[in-house]
Amino acid sequence: MVANVKIDLTEKEMPTKWYNIQPDLPEPLPPVLHPGTHQPVTPDDLKPIFPMALIMQEVTQEPYVEIPEELQQIYRMWRPTPLQRAYRLEKALDTPAKIYYKYEGNSPAGSHKLNTALAQAYFNKKEGVKRLATETGAGQWGSALALGCQMFGLECKVYMVKVSYQQKPYRRIMMETWGAKVVPSPSTDTQAGRSILAQNPNSPGSLGISISEAIEDAVTSKDTKYSLGSVLNHVLLHQTIIGLEAKKQLEKAGVNPDIVVGCVGGGSNFAGLVLPFMKDRIKNKRIRLIAVEPEACPSLTKGTCAYDFGDTAGTTPLLKMYTLGHTFVPPGIHAGGLRYHGMAPIVSHLHKLGLIEVKAVHQTPVFQSAITFTRAEGIIPAPESAHAIKVAIDEALECKKSGQSKTILIGLSGHGHFDLGAYDEYLGGKLQDYEYPMEKVKEALVLLPKV
Ligand SMILES: Cc1ncc(COP(=O)(O)O)c(C=O)c1O
């Protein structure tokens, strides 16, 4: 019998609800705190920046949340996404492991980010919001939100980290093509941006700075709310469609994964993929769920689990998370989407409870793995996603040594068509590795808010 390469779901089989991990957590999440009073935030505190539907999704204890039909219709433009068996990669590695990947790069915006961008635009639109402000690093999130806003007739303003704005014009052009207004951050459009520029006119920017700008924009502009592409519970909730689909697809193929691996920046694609497998993990310790981050931004492997701000200016509510400190300025590695100082509270909590494994890897071997992958499977992975590929390949090679035939599921969160400059540097032997020094971690942690 010829084995299937793709395990597809029909549109009818697409999940109609997102999965909420909160009621299934062995211990509840620590509360989010108000930055001024250090008391748990109330829905009213969050009202200036988010619509009520998303605030309620942030705290709901319902195990499933309905995906509105109007949103399902748009999801069907590219969902369900394929689950593919990487036969050619297995052959190239000469491994007995069975490798599958869940590919989110065929969304119109090129990554998983569109799953939540559309949902956020939808719920804002329903509550009469006319404009969304957001930040973006390398532009994956900004482009997803630009398209999400376009689909629901909202205006979109994107504060793009300056170094990416200068070095990677194509994502900016994509956002503008979808109708968004994009400025390099720090910008002169906000007080937060102006004060950073006053201290350092050449600031390259960071996600933390861009978040400060976007939040300030949301609270000071008419009919405007803020939108975040990762970290928060509602964002992770929207991404669970990835894992819910993958689970159904694996069931169709008649296999149980031994290892599920995803990259982590703020934690949304990893959580989206693994949360639907978490009940299996809690019941049966055999399944390993591995989060992979860059050595240059090692929040889970070198950070501390503490209350910290989500942004640089210290305006957001305090989240209990693994953090490198909100003053962290990331080194310029190529996986722009993985350069955030913190980590989703849900992912942080799961790590604290010992329910996930964490690994940090350098970018050179990451690109080497991306090349091995693309020469076998064809898809050029986003540098972010290639972090997951690197660890999956390591695990597959371990199987080769031990002779075990484990089933490995990779979260392939996006394509790398706008990251060819990074591939060029790697192929030209110019890519450098950077390990974030422990002294810097310690320095930044002194500035954590005292809770
Ligand atoms: C393709 C891709 N994968 C992963 C990430 C990391 O984000 P998260 O951890 O929220 O999935 C990003 C962020 O921009 C991304 O663009």
Q: Which of 202, 226, 250 is the last residue of a domain?
A: 226
- Residues 97-151 have pLDDT tens digits of 999 999 999 999 999 999 999 999 999 999 999 999 999 988 999 999 999 999 9
Whole-number pLDDT of residue 251: 96
Looking at the structure of the chain, the number of domains it has is 2
Q: Is residue 72 part of a domain?
A: no
What is the rounded distance in angstroms from the CA atom of residue 262 to the CA atom of residue 103? 12
Residue 245 and residue 222 share a domain: no
Q: What is the DSSP string of 401-435?
A: HHT---EEEEEE-BB-TT-HHHHHHHHTT------
Mean of pLDDT values over 252-278: 97
Q: Is residue 4 part of a domain?
A: no
Residue 178 and residue 201 share a domain: yes
> Scanning the structure block, which residue is given the tokens 């569109």?
114
DSSP 33: B
Residue 92 and residue 123 share a domain: no
Residue 200 and residue 341 share a domain: no
Query: What contacts 294, CB < 8 A, 6 or more positions away?
Result: 333, 335, 338, 339, 360, 361, 362, 363, 366, 387
Helices (H), 307-382: 345-352, 363-377
What is the rounded distance in angstroms from the CA atom of residue 341 to the CA atom of residue 206? 10
**Alpha-carbon separation of residue 336 from 27, 153, 229, 241, 363 (angstroms):** 32, 28, 13, 24, 11
Residue nearest to atom 7 of ligand 1 (CA): 265
Residue nearest to atom 10 of ligand 1 (CA): 268
Could you tell me if 291 and 262 are in contact, meaning their C-beta atoms sit under 8 angstroms apart?
A: yes
Residue 299 and residue 216 share a domain: no
Checking if the pLDDT of 16 tops 80, the result is yes
What is the rounded distance in angstroms from the CA atom of residue 394 to the CA atom of residue 399? 9
Q: How far is the CA of 37 from the centre of ligand 1 (A)?
A: 32
Greater pLDDT, 135 or 280: 135
Q: In the chain, what percentage of residues exceed pLDDT 70?
A: 100
Question: For residue 369, how many C-alpha atoms fall within 13 Å in the half-sphere facing its CB?
Answer: 25
Poorest-pLDDT segment among 112-121, 169-178, 198-207, 288-297: 198-207
Which ligand 1 atom lies nearest to the CA of residue 267?
9
DSSP 23: G
> Scanning the structure block, which residue is given the tokens 């995803």?
262
Residue 265 and residue 131 share a domain: no
Checking if the pLDDT of 288 tops 80, the result is yes
Whole-number pLDDT of residue 336: 80
Q: Which two tokens stand for residue 389?
A: 């590929």
Q: Is residue 235 part of a domain?
A: no
Residue 139 and residue 162 share a domain: yes
DSSP 381: B
Mean of pLDDT values over 344-348: 98
Substitution site in 230, 238, 241, 389 for ligand 1 pocket (most atoms within 8 Å of beta carbon): 230
Q: Is residue 369 part of a domain?
A: yes
Q: Which of 195, 226, 257 is the last residue of a domain?
A: 226
Which ligand 1 atom lies nearest to the CA of residue 140?
16
Which ligand 1 atom lies nearest to the CA of residue 141?
14
Whole-number pLDDT of residue 2: 63
Residue 367 and residue 263 share a domain: yes
Residue 246 and residue 123 share a domain: no
Q: Is residue 71 part of a domain?
A: no
Poorest-pLDDT segment among 83-92, 282-291, 376-385: 282-291
Q: Is residue 73 part of a domain?
A: no
**Diameter over CA atoms, the chain:** 68
Q: Which of 226, 261, 288 is the last residue of a domain?
A: 226
Taking the whole predicted model, whether its pTM rises above 0.85 is answered as yes
Domain with 344 in it: what CATH number? 3.40.50.1100
- Residues 42-100 have pLDDT tens digits of 999 999 999 999 999 999 999 999 999 999 999 999 999 999 999 999 999 999 999 99
Whole-number pLDDT of residue 1: 55
Checking if the pLDDT of 194 tops 90, the result is yes
Mean of pLDDT values over 428-451: 90
Q: How far is the CA of 416 from the centre of ligand 1 (A)?
A: 12
Whole-number pLDDT of residue 285: 73
Residue 58 and residue 84 share a domain: no
What is the rounded distance in angstroms from the CA atom of residue 106 to the CA atom of residue 127? 30
- Mean pLDDT score of the chain, rounded to an integer? 95
Poorest-pLDDT segment among 14-18, 142-146, 197-201, 330-334: 330-334
- Residues 147-176 have pLDDT tens digits of 999 999 999 999 999 988 998 899 999 999
Q: Is residue 6 part of a domain?
A: no
Strand partners, 410: 101, 261
Q: Is residue 43 part of a domain?
A: yes
Poorest-pLDDT segment among 61-65, 259-263, 355-359, 436-440: 436-440
In which domain, by residue range, is 165 found?
A: 17-64+112-226
Question: Angle at CA 422, nearest 5°, toward 416 and 424?
Answer: 105
Q: Which residues line ligand 1 (CB under 6 A)?
A: 111, 137, 140-141, 230, 263-270, 337-338, 382, 384-385, 413-414
Residue 96 and residue 53 share a domain: no
Of the candidates 344, 243, 240, 234, the one whose C-alpha atom is nearest the C-alpha of residue 287 is 243
Pairing of strands 6-7, 83-85: antiparallel
Residue nearest to atom 6 of ligand 1 (CA): 265
Residue 124 and residue 98 share a domain: no
